[in-house]
Amino acid sequence: MLLIRCPYCEEERPELEFRNAGEAHIARPTNIAAESDDDFEKFFFIRANPKGVIYERWRHIHGCARFFNAVRDTVTDKFVMTYKAGEPKPAKLPGAAK
Amino acid sequence: MNAMFRISGAGRLSQAKTASFSFDDKSYTGIEGDTLASALLANGVHLVGRSFKYHRPRGFLSAGAEEPNALVQIVRDDARKTPNVRATVQELYDGLTANSQNRWPSLAFDVGAVNDLASPMFSAGFYYKTFMWPKWAWKDLYEPKIRAAAGLGVSPEKPDPDHYAARYAHCEVLVLGGGAAGIAAALAAAETGVRVILADEQAEFGGSLRFESGARIDGQQGYAWAQGAIAKLKAMDNVRVLSRTTAFGYYAQNFVGLVERVSDHLKSPGRDLARERLWQVRANRVVIATGAIERHMVFANNDRPGVMLASAARTYLNHYGVAVGRNVGVYTANDSAYAAAIDLKKAGVNIAAIVDLRDNPSGPVIDEARALGIEINFGRAVVSAGGKLRVSSMTVQPKNGGGGRTIPVDAILMSAGWTPSVHLFSQSRGKVAFNDETRRFVPGTYAQDCISVGACNGTDGLDATVDEAYAAGAKAAKEAGGKAGKSAKPKVDAGESWSRGMLGAAPGAGPGTTVKAFVDFQNDVTAKDIRQAVHEGMHSIEHVKRFTTNGMATDQGKTSNMHGLAIAAEELGKPIPQVGLTTFRAPYTPVTFGSIVGHARGALFDPTRRTATHGWAARQGAVFEDVGHWKRAWYFPKAGEDMHAAVNRECVTVRKVGGLFDASTLGKIEVVGPDAAKFMELLYTNPWEKLETGRCRYGIMLREDGFIYDDGVVGRLAPDRFHVTTTTGGAPRVMNHMEDYLQTEFPHLNVWLTSITEQWAVIAVQGPKSRDIIAPLVEGIDMSDEGMPHMSVREGKICGVPTRLFRMSFTGERGFEVNVPADYGEAVWEALWAEGQKHGATAYGTETMHVLRAEKGYIIVGQDTDGTVTPNDAGLDWAVGKKKTDFVGIRGLTRPDLVAKGRKQLVGLKTKDPKVVLEEGAQIVADPKQPIPMKMIGHVTSSYWSENCGRSIALALVAGGRDRMGQTLYVPMPNGTIEVEVTGMVFVDEKGERLNG
Amino acid sequence: MKKYSVFAIAREAMRGHKGWEEQWTSPEPKKEYDVIIVGAGGHGLATAYYLASEHGITNIAVLEKGWLGGGNTGRNTTIIRSNYLYDESAGIYDHALKLWDGLSQELNYNVMYSARGVMMLAHNVHDVQVFKRHIHANRLNGIDNEWLTPEQAKEFCPPLNISKEARYPVMGAALQRRGGTARHDAVAWGYARGASARGVHIIQNCEVTGIKRAANGAVSGVETTRGFIGAKKVGVVAAGHSSVIMNMAGVRMPLESYPLQALVSEPIKPVVPCVVMSNTVHAYISQSDKGELVIGAGTDQYVSYSQTGGLHILQHTLDAICEMFPIFTRMKMLRSWGGIVDVTPDRSPILAKTPVKGLYVNCGWGTGGFKATPGSGNVFAHTIAKDEPHPINAPFTLERFRTGRLIDEAAAAAVAH
Amino acid sequence: MAKAAAKTKAAASASVERRPALAGRTLSAPGVKVEMLPPAERISLRAPQASIAALSKALGVTLPVKPKTSAMNDGRTALWLGPDEWMIIDEAGNDPLADCAKVTALHSAVGISHRNVGISVAGPAAAVTVNSGCPQDLSLEAFPAGAASRTILGKSEIVLLRTAADAFRVECWRSFSDYVFTLLSEAASDAAN
């Protein structure tokens, strides 16, 4: 069971309080009705599924109930950082310079 | 009674406290504090089990959790039979009953032992190469025989009356292992004031101090020091000391699973005491102090009862006061067996000879053994053990060959060296490293905030171990926020130290030999099996392991893995690290399902949700059905009625008079805020902005891919407030779906969602008399058709309590849904029931609800739709706002396949024979004469006998269904084909006049 | 290839089993092959085997980053069945089931396919409706699947708890008698032996690090930890890592990879005679020939390549097992482990050509790939050999996610109402 | 703004009786007592930062803004559940919904008095009892008196409020109360061991 830092509760909480919500930073197109079939496929089905650093969404569903974003290594399952929903994808990750 | 092999003056048990027990129906006496193993050995019993494949007689190899051989069935009573219990771990209690396993008719005479004679046929992986002809014989002949022969103990036959507890715990420093290292680390950490948990699998703390007679710490004998230190730790508020507790799994982020055996050692545990308790511990730092496990020597017939690890014999003597024999041989490749020989000799046991593979070792223990007059043979090997049900001799030869001699013995103690217990470190995803000099795997790269200390870290010697452990404990505590404590590092006055030894087959069992020199005892894997696997192309240790099953028995290779690896490496001509080490997987030792499950059994397996009127329905004799977590009243049979009769009566009564139905389980969400209507526009296909306050609308929710996700009636209570209903099963995921969009896609909207499913009990009152039933109880609401038309909602009072009163219908009749605060639900129901009785109304359940809605062609999401159905498919295009430019699902709906011709559409079906009721799920074809496989064009989604229509009715998804009105289609069933006609979906009151009737 | 038989064993028993030949060779990679298969799991080895045995293509390399059969093939709970709802799924899984029956003889390797029956429990009215729908569809597709009452279910599996007092009482079951289990390692080894004997190179400890494409965009070979290896056709069969490998060719996939755990108990004498599955209570169980209860757990909720999962997943699984079999609380978990499964949005696999010429992909089997091994390898070999799909795998395209023509078995099981 | 919709003030006359879930159920074990709490008035309150002052004033209790905390005044407790979410529990018989109805600042107040039930877990073994199914760290350092959090208990969601060093209020939805109470009872029997 992972330990996840909720950026709203400002502390680490057990995974049982959270629900993963898939890849992050895939914005719903503002004029979605006008998207092509290809673009809709990319938006709705295609996923990065990286072996390494993933940007993903979580919801602290049994806690503060907020959605937020996390950066995690999918090989070690270690979290690099978490940040609030709506904040931009971090340009640089902590410890990435090393 | 004093057992034959109990040595007076030896051991730590109080001889006064005896306990009687039975093994294979024979009674014995032991002492409290014994394990079953020590008690049997005290009585001279070595033969306790049979091996898996060859059914060879087996005794005790060890005195601990690594035991591969001595597995027994413990029987407390009829329902408390536990298979595969290690006799070396099971503590004795008065009245314990144990039986041997995997033998017939008896342990001493086991028919299955014929396998041993035929063993050349049963080489590694033999079953992959045969049993293939004739083809049918595998299933009917060979496999049943193999299955019956396999397996060790027997499953319990009755539900387990014991219960299991569970607990989450947090600490700064978790110390795993309570030997000298673990205790030293715990002492250091505890002094800093942080929370410390110290756990050990044994009943008593001390680890190897239990047998190391030479250890002295802080001026005391080692074991006594350990007991004093534990007493000190137990007295501290910040420390929890757990004995009989095995850390079995090391998970991500220092989350460790431990099982505490609470009552298996007690004579009468009592009802309140759990059998076991699961601890799930989150630790800031973990100190791993799990010690090392002695390895056996791999030589011919090394599995004979009486052949055991030297440290085990020492434990039996020094802790339990039991001699494992009277005339004992010793076979070793390192120093540690000497200490066993010395202790036994001093206790009066004859040591027939020590056989040491090494050419010219020297050291104080060797000198001491020699001084005691023990015969020592250097550079020699034991090439075979004699005897069958008990070892009777050992054959000794020069290790490079040459003439040998046979020495009579009744036990052989062996030691090939010690394997660090890196299991938990490895489970933490740390990477082990092979030390070429000491030829062992030790912790290399760490992946988590933990540290290994002592023997499991490859640290030799008590002094070095305590130093290292104490420092590690202090450091871990400091890193976890502990304050500097006063240092009280234990001082080691004397300790034992040994290292080295050998890996792989001993002389006489090496390449080219075919003797049975066991590597894995329980699974009967010999050195030659491993070599054969390599010959057959198994070059990875994982292949070798799987092909031979080495290390896959219940002891998980604690004694066999390293030998197996070394033999494979030798055969491949590669260094050990290049052949690899199999990964260690949880659990460290087997753990019961019960301990993992904990409280989650029976009523606590899953929450059972009941509505406010559940008690009333139960008293009326309702039959309930499971819908998600809910129990819902299914139908209300009167005396003598079966389900069919009850449902027919309920259906007719509702349309004729009226009925009451508990709709409380439907999900309810209050959507509040100035942007509430805008939000509804985006989440549902329907338009909402123009819905007037006080009016309701049936809404459809899609997923982004365009398929129907949920539906329900929505009432507008105020310009900024909607009362949304969802399906029963859909409630949680609809809420999550809405929150997801609100928080992440439409966060600019000022609107909030609150689940009110359980705030309101909902009583549907349906039927021509529904208004007459409700009206007398209502205050402050105009109940006329003008004042409260179909699809409207009003707030007021009923029975003196607040209500949200909906006028809506899922039956096609005039209908209402009375929402009242849940605690009032049952009392209001009773009041409505009393009114209803005046008119002859009925209570009805979910089955009647289903029939009545099907008569009207109303769909049930999840039954008539299945996640692949669009609004158009379901005939609900009218509910999709044509002018809307956005809602969830708008783009998915226009994908090529979703607008293609020939999609399955929801239609009605009437059987040609009105008495025939189709089966839900039955498949539909256009041509009944075609051969199998048939082209199926649809299936029946809902089907009922409609007493109101006097015939059966059905809904179905049929390819191009709306273009097939009036067509005859076919439903092929096992006992004949049923003809059906495609119809519209409304079977009752097509014009909808009854809504106001 | 020396034939395996009881006589061969007897012969070898006389001489200490020293005459067995290697089941597969360990050759050095050549510079170029006609076909490269990435991934020596069951599906990859079966593909190579059928390319050699049915299509005459033997100049093949199967590249494996670890040891053959060490991925999901060696980590699954070995359940075999074909009673799927949709024609497309039924088609491919029953093709596999027909091949399972006879595979031991075909490979001369006892894969221990054991048609002991797979029984799926219904616990509520909705389950009953869904199972009946499957049973009727299966019958018209010529696939056996029959309805059992609770009493019949208990007769078929005596330790099953059918008490009405259970939290989720058993309302019936769907039984596919031809369903069952097989010995997972033997499947990989049997195909490896068969392929190796036909000249296929199985190259272990050889990780693919890149996919090379020629100027015209077509595949020209792969970069590996053992150097470049050329081939004009590359089939990717790398369950768990499909996204990673396909990314090397610039193809982004509709896949996510999740940890999937399983466990076995200590061995006991036969007690569970068949496979029992429950979607509602959420667990499945069988008993191996060795006597271990083999129990499958669910996936963790997040993408991971760690091959480990959380303890709470095992807890939920064992809760469910002890709900169905209350006699098992005193049984002990002996071993637990994790695999990585790649999952498509519709939970159906992709076996298809890709937008890159010469690149083929077989992935997305989720939690159910083992049962399809022979069928999958068989039609994937056809797809690579002919450069066009076999009719059986033609629906399992990549394009279906653009058109919406999904094969959504999970959705068809629907949701509670 | 956002007018109160359901007024749960008791009717003046002829009101049917209220039948709370599990009313009166108690369990005593060594070191801990588990018992159902009497009905209380509750609302779910949602509001942006800008409305907090006005709502605090109307409610007579300062809405806490620090995660995992609560505030109490005059029989009324405000629990921080999320950055824009509070649960107000009134045990003095006053109606917080009516108080919020007077506030014009942007907010959502929804009555949930009947949705939830309260269970008291009190005694030296209270924390251990709750930890049987709740994975949070309940030491006084991590979860002091006054701390409040939505979390998990076994297979049910709960809201946990520590009312004193050795006492908790466990709130859960009405239909989960049987499960939650039974789990706490089983755990209580084990907690002192």
Q: What is the CATH number of the domain that holds B95?
A: 3.10.20.440
Statement to judge: residues D143 and D77 lie in one domain: no
Residue B818 counted as domain residue:
no
Residues D139 and D165 in one domain: yes
Rounded to whole angstroms, the Cα distance separating C47 from C234 reads: 12
For residue C342, the surrounding DSSP H or E stretch is strand C332-343
Domain harbouring A37, CATH code: 3.30.2270.10
Q: For the CA atoms of chain C, what is the radius of gyration? A: 21
> A–B: how many Cβ contacts below 8 A?
54
- Pair (B170, B287) in one structural domain: yes
* DSSP alpha helix (H) spans, B791-872: 825-839, 846-855
Is residue B636 assigned to a domain? no
What are the residue boundaries of the structural domains of chain C, listed by start? 30-82+84-109+183-254+346-411, 118-177+257-343
- Residues whose CB is less than 8 angstroms from the CB of residue B795 and which lie 6 or more positions away in sequence, other chains included: B717, B781, B802, B803, B804, B805, D5, D6
Who among B253, B282, B705 is closest to A44 (CB)? B705
Residue linked to tokens 């058709």: B785
Domain CATH code at residue D156: 3.30.1360.120
Looking at the fold, whether B217 and B178 belong to one and the same domain comes out as yes
> Considering CB atoms only, which of C9, C328, C414 is closest to B130?
C9
Do D84 and D129 lie in one domain? The reply is no
What CATH number does the domain containing B402 carry?
Answer: 3.50.50.60
Per residue in B163-218, pLDDT (tens digit) is 999 999 999 999 999 999 999 999 999 999 999 999 999 999 999 999 999 999 99
- Is D175 within 8 Å of B758 when comparing Cβ atoms? yes
**How many C-alpha atoms does B725 have within 13 Å on its Cβ side?**
23
Contact B348, B371 (CB under 8 A): no
**Residue with the two structure tokens 């049918």:** B136
Can you read off the two tokens belonging to residue C225? 């930890």
Contact at 8 Å (CB) between C350 and C397?
yes
Is B766 within 8 Å of B777 (Cβ atoms)?
Answer: no
Interchain contact D150–A (C-beta under 8 A): yes
Q: Are strands B196-199 and B239-242 parallel, antiparallel or unpaired?
A: parallel
Domain edge (last residue) among B446, B471, B494:
B494
pTM for this prediction: 0.96
Q: Is residue D7 part of a domain?
A: no
**Are residue D98 and residue D150 in the same domain, yes or no?**
no
Residues D59 and D105 in one domain: yes
Say whether both D67 and D123 belong to one domain: no
Q: Is D87 part of a structural domain of the chain?
A: yes
Is residue D64 included in any domain, yes or no?
yes
Per-residue confidence band for C1, with pLDDT thresholds at 50, 70 and 90: confident
For residue B303, tell me if it sits in a domain: yes
pLDDT of residue D6: 39
Q: Are B822 and B612 in contact (CB under 8 A)?
A: yes
| Whether the predicted pLDDT of B304 surpasses 60 | yes
Mean pLDDT of C86-96: 96
* Residue for token pair 């799926």: C120
Please report residues of D whose CB lies closer than 8 A to that of A85. none
Cβ-based contacts under 8 A for chains B and C:
343
**What is the structure's pLDDT at B890?**
98
Confidence label for C15 from pLDDT (cuts 50, 70 and 90):
confident
Tell whether A55 is covered by a domain: yes
Any B CB within 8 A of C8 CB: yes
Query: Token match 């002192």: residue?
Result: D192
Shared-domain flag, residues D31 and D69: no
Q: Is the pLDDT of residue B929 over 70?
A: yes
Smallest CA–CA distance, residue D185 to chain B, in Å, is: 11
pLDDT at position D13 over 90: no
Contact B799 D44 (CB under 8 A): no
**Top-confidence residue, B735 or B150:** B735
Which domain, by its residues, includes D131?
A: 22-39+115-193
Domain annotation covers residue B516: yes
Does B911 reside within a domain?
A: yes
Tokens 């067995």 appear where?
C20
**Do B168 and B287 fall into the same domain?**
yes
Cross-strand pairs, B330: B354, B413
Q: What is the mean pLDDT of chain C?
A: 95
Mean pLDDT to the nearest integer, D103-118: 98
Q: How does pLDDT run across C358-405, given as a tens digit for each residue?
A: 999 999 999 889 999 999 999 999 999 999 999 999 999 999 999 999
Superfamily (CATH) of domain C30-82+84-109+183-254+346-411: FAD/NAD(P)-binding domain (3.50.50.60)
Question: What is the tally of structural domains in chain B?
Answer: 5
Q: Nearest-CA distance from A42 to chain D in Å?
A: 33
Q: CA-based diameter of chain C, in Å?
A: 69
pLDDT at D5: 39
Those chains having 3 or more beta-carbon pairs within 8 angstroms of chain A are B, C, D
Q: Is C158's Cβ below 8 Å from some Cβ in B? A: no
| Together in a domain, D130 and D81 | no
Interface of C with B in 169-188 (CB under 8 A): 169, 183, 185-186
Q: Which helix (H) or strand (E) holds C133?
A: helix C125-140
Together in a domain, B389 and B427: no
Asked if C256 and A46 come within 8 Å (Cβ–Cβ), the reply is no
Q: Which of D56, D85, D112 is the last residue of a domain?
A: D112
Residue A49: inside a domain, yes or no?
yes
Q: Is D173 part of a structural domain of the chain? A: yes
Report which DSSP code applies to B62.
-
Task: Report whether pLDDT(B398) > 80.
Answer: yes
Peptide bond into B587 cis (omega under 30): yes
Put simply, whether C390 touches B (Cβ < 8 Å) is no
Rounded Cα–Cα distance for residues B584 and B272 (Å): 36
- For residue D46, the distance in angstroms to the closest alpha carbon of chain A comes to 12
Is B272 a member of any domain? Answer: yes
| Token output for B410 | 């009744």
d(CA B485, CA B469): 16
As a whole number of angstroms, the distance between CA C202 and CA B467 comes to 51
Query: CATH number for the domain including D70?
Result: 3.30.70.1520
Most B CBs within 10 Å: which of C314, C322, C408, as the mutation test of the B interface?
C322
Residue ranges making up the domain that contains B253? 164-292+420-494
Digit-coded pLDDT (tens) for C262-305: 999 999 999 999 999 999 888 999 999 999 999 998 889 999 99
Q: Which domain holds residue A32?
A: 3-84
Position B82 in a domain: yes
Residue C24, token pair as written in the block: 């597969």
> What is the per-residue pLDDT for B944?
98
- The reply to whether B168 and B286 lie within a common domain is yes
d(CA B524, CA B506): 17
Q: List all residues 6 or more positions away from B91 whose beta carbon is below 8 Å from its beta carbon.
A: B33, B34, B35, B36, B203, B264, B265
A69 to chain B: closest CA residue: B744
Q: Is B243 exposed, middle or buried (0-12, 13-18, 19+ CB in 10 A)?
A: middle
* Residues D119 and D26 occupy one common structural domain: yes
Task: Look at residue B892 and tell me if it is in a domain.
Answer: no
Tokens of B609: 């949700």
pLDDT of residue B372: 97
Q: What is the dihedral of CA B86, B89, B94, B98, to 10 degrees?
A: 0
Provide the domain count of chain D. 2
Q: Which two tokens stand for residue C31?
A: 């510079």
Among the candidates D90, D112, D134, a domain finishes at D112
CB-based contact B892 A65, cutoff 8 Å: no
Residue that finishes a domain, picked among D68, D93, D112: D112
In this structure, is residue A67 part of a structural domain? yes
Using the Cβ of A64 and the Cβ atoms of chain B, whether some distance falls under 8 Å is answered with no
Is residue A15 assigned to a domain?
Answer: yes
pLDDT tens-digit series, residues B332-348 = 999 999 999 999 999 99
CA distance B328 to B411: 5
The residues near B649 (Cβ < 8 Å, ≥ 6 apart) are: B638, B641, B842, B947
Chain B's closest residue to A79, CA to CA, is: B253
pLDDT digits (tens, 9 = 90+) for B935-956: 999 999 999 999 999 999 999 9
Distance CA B341, CA B230 (A): 30
- Architecture (CATH level 2) of domain C118-177+257-343: 2-Layer Sandwich (3.30)
A89 assigned to some structural domain: no
Residues 6+ apart with CB under 8 A from D151: A13, A17, A62, A63, D134, D135, D136, D157, D158, D159, D160
Burial class (CB in 10 A: 0-12, 13-18, 19+), C300: buried
Residue range D171-185, pLDDT digits in tens = 999 999 999 999 999
What is the pLDDT confidence band of residue A96, given thresholds at 50, 70 and 90? low
Instruction: List pLDDT tens digits, range B568-590.
Output: 999 999 999 999 877 789 999 99
C11 in reach of chain B (CB within 8 A): no
Do residue B175 and residue B313 come from a single domain? no
Lowest mean pLDDT, pick from A59-63, B454-458, B464-468, C9-13: C9-13
User: Same domain for D80 and D174?
Assistant: no
Q: What's the average model confidence in pLDDT over A63-68?
A: 98
Our count of domains for chain A comes to 1
Q: What is the pLDDT of residue D7?
A: 39
pLDDT per residue as tens digits for the range B636-676: 999 999 999 999 999 999 999 999 999 999 999 999 999 99
ipTM associated with this complex: 0.96
| CB atoms B891 and A35 under 8 Å | yes
Determine the residue of chain A that is closest to D156 in CA distance.
A62
Using alpha carbons, select from B419, B450, B448 the residue that is nearest to residue B576.
B419
- Residue B740 tokens, joined: 């997801």
DSSP assignment of B172-188 equals EEEEE--BHHHHHHHHH
Strand, coil or helix: what is B765?
strand
For B642-652, what is each residue's pLDDT tens digit? 999 999 999 99
Whole-number Å distance between alpha carbons of B647 and B641 = 9
